[in-house]
Structure 1
Amino acid sequence: MNLTPKQRIELHGFNNLTKSLSFNMYDICYTKTKAEREAYIDYIDEQYNAERLTKILKTVTDIIGAHILNIAKQDYDPQGASVTILVSEGPVHEEHIEALDESPGPIPNIVVGALDKSHITVHTYPEYHPDDGISTFRADIDVSTCGEISPLKALNYLIHSFETDVMTIDYRVRGFTRDVTGHKLFIDHEINSIQNYIPDEIQTQYDMIDVNVYQENIFHTKCKLREFDLNQYLFGYTKNQLSEEEQADITKRLVIEMDEIFYGKNMT
């Protein structure tokens, strides 16, 4: 939404609303043997090591128009990685996109606004089930901003940066700012669903459920891939190398794993 000068709210001082986006992605794989599990973990650690995660978060920083103050990154033994970037207000340049527009943000390299006293973090959690042959990789990304810009503008890019079977996304606006009369504002933009910031081509690939608490400015969306292709979940071989009975058994295990993550509960 493009606001005219008359439509914009004149604030008393700095807009200090805190907007927090938490994005959790899950990649699921069937690993039949110990060797396959270890190979999968090694693959994930290579694909999403601290160096690559830093590049992803640096692009997020560009998208939300921030200036990097400090970067801390760490690869863990035996697996996993973390990156934390502290950011401050940065100059807006290149192409300008309305900060409060309810639409998917860019994929790469477009600065869209400014923010202050904020941070971006990512932590990864590769793990496996020792009996069911299921290996799961989870990445937790948090983008917290202060000011007009919404971190939801980085969501499109983040979705494209990870191989994702299940996503859970939380967005919350905290605190308040004031207009020139002293009236408190607890949110400064319209939003009815995180899905408004997810491109149509992504939405067609996922089943999505919203759980929102509008009066508290809390929004939650979870997503699960609609199409299931067993070959996408086998590590190092294809389903043609399995019997029909094995294919059915592995498919059942994978679907249960995705459903349990999607619905947030154990299923029998």
Structure 2
Amino acid sequence: MEKLRLHGFNNLTKSLSFNIYDICHARTQEQKKAYVAYLDDMFSADRLTQILTEVSDIIGAHILNIARQDYEPEGASVTILIAEEAAYDGPTPDAVVGHLDKSHITVHTYPEFHPDNGISTFRADIDVSTCGLISPLKALDHLIHSFESDVVSMDYRVRGFTRDVDGVKHFIDHEINSIQDYIPEDICNRYQMIDVNVLAERIFHTKMRLTEFSLDDYLFAEKAADLSEEEAAELTDRIESEVNEIFYGRNFANGANDSE
């Protein structure tokens, strides 16, 4: 595709919200605590910083600043300020981010537990907002593989406009009909996907869930072979129900949704 010749800076803002859910069954209080400790280690602020730094490299952004924080009792947040080109040749400053200018990457984690039945759902929210030629869609493959989640919900939007050398406005600078256009085939083959796209407004939404189910993948400190057939069947139903409710955004037990 021939590059669009612009009058000045590319003012288009491209924002990707990447929301993942990982479901687990932790039967006892001790297992729940061990699961939280595992998540805090696996997705600590340091580990999340590494993932987001790799995302910055993939999309061709330059890191200007990093702010990160682990929380008590659990959870972590990371904010990275990025630019399309290096702002200067010196070292990256160590100052805390006070405000963000044009482009940024953030992540927040949310461990959550059902009060009674042992279902634990870990959620991570990642936002990649870029301005200019760089696009967060280039990092989809890396983000999906980094978290290997049961359910993934993604929103992509292009805002603003830029002008070409003749002064004509351009409200998007790349072809896209669906976020799925930018997801590798091997990932598409592993997930069920649904789309809600508003092309005229440059708003794209894709939701994914794993198609293969193995109970062992959802048990913490237990194995399916050690369960009775009745226990295995009950846990399978509860876990699949959790996945379905998150994927479709409604509670199937009472037929209600968040707006009702």
TM-score by length of 1: 0.87
Aligned AA (1:230): L
1:73 to partner: Cα distance? 0.2
Runs of at least 5 residues in structure 2 that lack an aligned partner in the other structure: 87-100, 254-260
1:8 to partner: Cα distance? 2.7
Amino-acid identity (%):
67
1:86 corresponding residue in structure 2: 81
Name which of 178, 185, 194 aligns with 1:209.
Answer: 194
Moved over 2 A (4+): none
Are 2:25 and 1:30 aligned? yes
Are 2:136 and 1:127 aligned? no
Residues 65-104 of structure 1 correspond to what in structure 2 (within 5 A)?
Answer: 65-90=60-85
Q: Secondary structure at the match of 1:212?
A: strand
Residues 1-268 of structure 1 correspond to what in structure 2 (within 5 A)?
Answer: 3=1, 7-90=2-85, 117-268=102-253
Q: Is the 8 A contact 2:84 2:131 kept in 1?
A: no
Q: Secondary structure at the match of 2:27?
A: coil
1:117 to partner: Cα distance? 3.0
Q: Is the 8 A contact 2:63 2:83 kept in 1?
A: yes
Q: Distance in 2 between matches of 1:233 and 1:122?
A: 24
Q: Distance in 2 between matches of 1:236 and 1:8?
A: 54
Q: Distance in 1 between matches of 2:85 and 2:141?
A: 21
Q: Distance in 2 between matches of 1:82 and 1:53?
A: 8
TM-score by length of 2: 0.90
Q: Distance in 2 between matches of 1:125 and 1:85?
A: 19
Q: Secondary structure at the match of 1:222?
A: strand
Aligned AA (1:77): E
1:53 to partner: Cα distance? 0.4
Deviations 1:207-230 (A, max 9, x none): 000110111000000000001000
Q: Is the 8 A contact 1:64 1:149 kept in 2?
A: yes
Q: Distance in 2 between matches of 1:131 and 1:209?
A: 31
1:90 to partner: Cα distance? 2.9
Alpha-carbon RMSD = 1.1
Q: Secondary structure at the match of 1:161?
A: helix
Q: Is the 8 A contact 2:84 2:133 kept in 1?
A: no
Q: Is the 8 A contact 2:84 2:134 kept in 1?
A: no
Q: Is the 8 A contact 1:89 1:117 kept in 2?
A: no
Q: Distance in 2 between matches of 1:208 and 1:258?
A: 13
Aligned AA (2:67): A
Deviations 1:73-92 (A, max 9, x none): 0000010000000011236x
Q: Distance in 2 between matches of 1:78 and 1:9?
A: 50
Q: Distance in 1 between matches of 2:165 and 2:218?
A: 56
